Chain A
Amino acid sequence: EVAYSQSTGQKEQLSRCLQRGIRRVQDLCKVLQLPTVFEETAVSYLQRALRHPSFHLVSLEKKELLGGCCVFVTCRQHNWPLTMGTICSLLYAKQEMFAGVYLSLQKELELSVPALSLADLVKTHLNSFRLFQHAADVPAPFVEDKEKMVARTMQIVELASETWLVTGRHPVPIVTAAAFLSWQSLRPAARLTCTLARFCKAAGVDLPPPAHLRLRELLQILLRMASQLAWLRVFKMDKKTVVKHIGDLLQHRIFLLKNAFCLEEEEEQRAAAPGERSPGSPPAAGGAAQEEGSPSGGKRRREGGPGPLLPPCLTNPRKRLRTAALSASDLAVTGDEPISDSEIEQYLRGPEEVRAFRKAKAW
């Protein structure tokens, strides 16, 4: 004989915590308009997570975030461009806490989460821009064709990616800066005087602080490329005028990048040829000279023209905080050195000092 409560009521078997989590997942999927299969995947991750010892006992606050994390992971695995910023605002969560729960989830369940697809992010991010239809608060010259803008923004984002502006950086500000440049370049006459801030306001989107820096870096890259375009060399390009030619620059970007920057492949070939040596061969002084010869030889060639293509953190390094190498006396330490009384006593308070301190602190 089986009691009714035991043979039915699957829901009762689920803990309240899990029930709440599942409901949260369902709500999120509805708000984000995700395909139904996402919900199933997210729920299964949630169940796995809650069974895991490291999540079983976390604070309620963190458990609330778990559902959101599972949805986030599911989206990323399906290349659905959901940013952490978006999910955090939907969960009313602090990003640090979300980050902690997300990283634990990834580690404990051994999930492989693909990187955010920038191309997809461009499409979804531009959806929120209010520049594609005429409206009362949007000046006529500001309105732009959505497809044109998406296409050009994608190209600029790809350019940023190829020129090391994306790696290690927050993705959204890059898209914002790229959208601004693409928008300006589609109708430069009317839009060159518009600032990034005004653009974002008109478009009804937030202006993330790093976007200004990303914009500056993009313009620097474009200027370098412009210097390689024959018919542009006549003009004195600056960061305003180069915008007018973004279309051309993007069209020939592969060629221009190769010429504007000394790409790594060339450097390698030059260094490898004379320096090639099998292990075990004598480390002749001659070999060393050869080794040194090639990089400097390469440099000579590059003196007059383009420099290497490097991430901004390498081209304008901040003040070197590099700690000095251990000094000779540091290295001689064995750990067994005798410790003099006087050295220890310097750290101890004398009786008067103790008295004074006691008075001051009122222990």
Chain B
Amino acid sequence: FKDDLSSSPQLFTPMSPYDVDLPIQTTEDVLFSSQFNQSKELSTDFSSVDLSFLPDVTQDNKEQNLSEDGCETQKELDGSLSRNGDSGIFMGESNFSYADATQPSPEVSGACLPLTPMTPMTPVTPASESSGIVPQLQNIVSTVNLACKLDLKNIALHARNAEYNPKRFAAVIMRIREPRTTALIFSSGKMVCTGAKSEEQSRLAARKYARVVQKLGFPAKFLDFKIQNMVGSCDVRFPIRLEGLVLTHQQFSSYEPELFPGLIYRMVKPRIVLLIFVSGKVVLTGAKERSEIYEAFENIYPILKGFKKAS
């Protein structure tokens, strides 16, 4: 890690990944998640074109460059920087996915190289004390308009992966294996896609469902794809006195152990709901963009740290 830093200095904001007083023994990647608060300019609003026929120019290159143990080296980041710059997609977008790669896995000792940080496109003031923890996305909910009326009975009859019980719920429940997701398909042609672990996976899954519907003979389009909700989770690794937190942050917190063991924290900016548990585990939900999840966590972390000491 140290060597990489010195070999290509122009790519780094000298952000110390270790300037936290948490015992960091794992390859938890740090930094850039909090720096990239400027959200991706990626347009998730694709026009009314079925994009499945588009060749993916970057796919092969990416797969080649990823080393076997799943950790990146400096080289491929250089490559992907220039490539994505061309396509006009904000470079942070797909590289964000890499950010999630080295989620702290305690089993991995120092063997795997920690992710090397990248230069943000715009100069960013580094957070004074980043938590060093990156929330992991657990669920993405998206919607898309197939823009044609659907015969749900017909779909349930001809599709193996469909469930339809009109007395219980007025939609077909369809599932695919890869990406492992579930879709709710309504007769109006509207569709909800849940269960994906990233925005890209959600869109890929939604496209696959649309293709299934197309193959069943309906003139399905792919309009107004939109990420509606994102859920992330992480672990601050110390227990939290929820009773104390609800006292000092009354206006944002609801802690009712008679109802639910966690504290419900409604953050105003960004507008995210956090579920905070005594074990130190945190769930973040309500985001439309993943930067909101990261930002919300960076906001709550110093508050939670304050309760680590007060016991």
Q: Are B278 and A168 in contact (CB under 8 A)?
A: yes
- Quick check: A313 and B309 within 8 Å, CB to CB? no
Quick check: is A300 within 8 A (CB to CB) of the other chain?
Answer: no
Q: Which of B32-40, B251-259, B285-293 contacts A (4 or more CB under 8 A)?
A: B251-259
Q: Are A167 and B278 in contact (CB under 8 A)?
A: yes
**Cβ–Cβ contact A103 & B254, under 8 A:** yes
Asked whether B16 lies within 8 Å of A325 as measured between CB atoms, the reply is no
**Given known contacts A164-B239, A280-B16, A327-B70, is B158 in contact with A332 (CB within 8 Å)?**
no
Contact B128 A279 (CB under 8 A): yes
User: Which residues of chain A have C-beta atoms less than 8 A from B73's C-beta?
Assistant: none
Contact A338–B52 (Cβ < 8 Å)? yes
Stretch from A24-32, A132-140, A151-159, A260-268 forming part of the interface with B: A260-268
Which residues 47-69 in B have Cβ within 8 Å of A in the complex? 51-56, 58-59, 62-63, 66
B85 at the interface (CB under 8 A from A): no
Determine the distance from Cα of A164 to Cα of B243 in the docked complex, in whole angstroms: 11
Report if B207 contacts A (CB, 8 A): yes
Contact (A348, B16) CB under 8 Å given A83-B258, A338-B56 = no
Range class of the B interface residue count: 35 or more
- Is the Cβ of A332 less than 8 Å from the Cβ of B63? yes
A171–B262 Cα distance when bound, in Å, is 14
Task: Check: A115 CB closer than 8 A to any chain B CB.
Answer: yes
Specify which chain B residues have a CB less than 8 angstroms from the CB of A284 in the assembled complex: 2
Residues in A neighbouring B52, C-beta threshold 8 A: 338-339
Q: Is B190 close to A, CB under 8 A?
A: no
- Contact, CB under 8 Å: B94 / A334: yes
Are B261 and A347 closer than 8 Å at their CB atoms? no
Distance between Cα atoms of A114 and B102 in the complex (Å): 40
Query: Which residues of chain B are within 8 angstroms of A279 by Cβ–Cβ distance?
Result: 16, 19, 126, 128-129
- Residues of chain A in range 299-358 having any CB-CB distance to chain B below 8 Å: 310-311, 313-314, 323, 325-339, 341, 343-349, 353-354, 357-358
> What sequence of 0s and 1s flags, for each residue 260-273 of chain B, a beta carbon within 8 Å of any chain A beta carbon?
01101010000000
Query: Are A288 and B18 neighbours in the complex by a CB distance under 8 Å?
Result: yes
A333 to B197, CA, bound (A): 11
Whether the Cβ atoms of A325 and B158 lie closer than 8 Å is no
Q: Does B90 reach chain A (CB closer than 8 Å)?
A: no
User: Contacts A112-B250, A167-B243, A171-B257; is A363 near B157 (CB within 8 Å)?
Assistant: yes
B25 close to chain A: CB less than 8 A? yes
B212 at the A interface (CB under 8 A): yes
**A281 engages B215 (CB within 8 Å):** no
Q: Is B86's beta carbon under 8 Å from chain A?
A: no
User: Which positions 98-116 of chain A face chain B at CB distance < 8 Å?
Assistant: 99, 102-103, 106-107, 110, 112-116
What is the bound-complex CA distance between A168 and B304, given in angstroms?
16
Asked whether, in the complex, the Cβ of B97 is within 8 Å of the Cβ of A331, the reply is yes
Q: Which listed segment binds B: A122-130, A225-233, A269-277?
A: A269-277
Tell me the smallest distance from the CB of A101 to a CB of chain B, in Å.
12
Closest to A323 in B: B138
A326 touches B198 (CB 8 A): yes
Given A167-B243, A335-B204, A349-B159: A313 touches B279 (CB 8 Å cut-off) = yes
A171–B157 Cα distance when bound, in Å, is 52
CB of A330 within 8 A of CB of B197, answer yes
Contacting pair A332 B62 (CB below 8 A): yes
Does A85 sit at the interface, judged by CB under 8 A? Answer: yes
Contacts of A344 in B (CB 8 A): 208, 211-212, 215
Residue contact A325 to B215, C-beta cutoff 8 Å: no
| Nearest chain A CB to B291 CB, angstrom units | 17
Beyond A168-B261, A358-B157, A363-B153, whether A291 also contacts B18 by CB under 8 A is yes
10 A-B pairs with the lowest CB-CB distances in the bound complex, closest first:
A325-B103, A168-B261, A335-B203, A335-B200, A112-B250, A328-B70, A331-B97, A167-B278, A279-B19, A295-B23
Binding site for B on A (CB under 8 A): 83-85, 95, 99, 102-103, 106-107, 110, 112-116, 161-162, 164, 166-171, 263-265, 268, 271-272, 275-285, 287-288, 291-292, 294-295, 310-311, 313-314, 323, 325-339, 341, 343-349, 353-354, 357-358, 361, 363
7 more CB-based (< 8 A) A-B contacts, given A335-B201, A348-B215: A102-B256, A166-B243, A166-B257, A268-B21, A333-B198, A334-B56, A339-B204
A-B contact pairs, 13 of them (CB 8 A): A84-B256, A99-B256, A99-B259, A102-B256, A114-B246, A265-B309, A279-B16, A288-B24, A291-B18, A333-B198, A334-B204, A335-B204, A345-B215
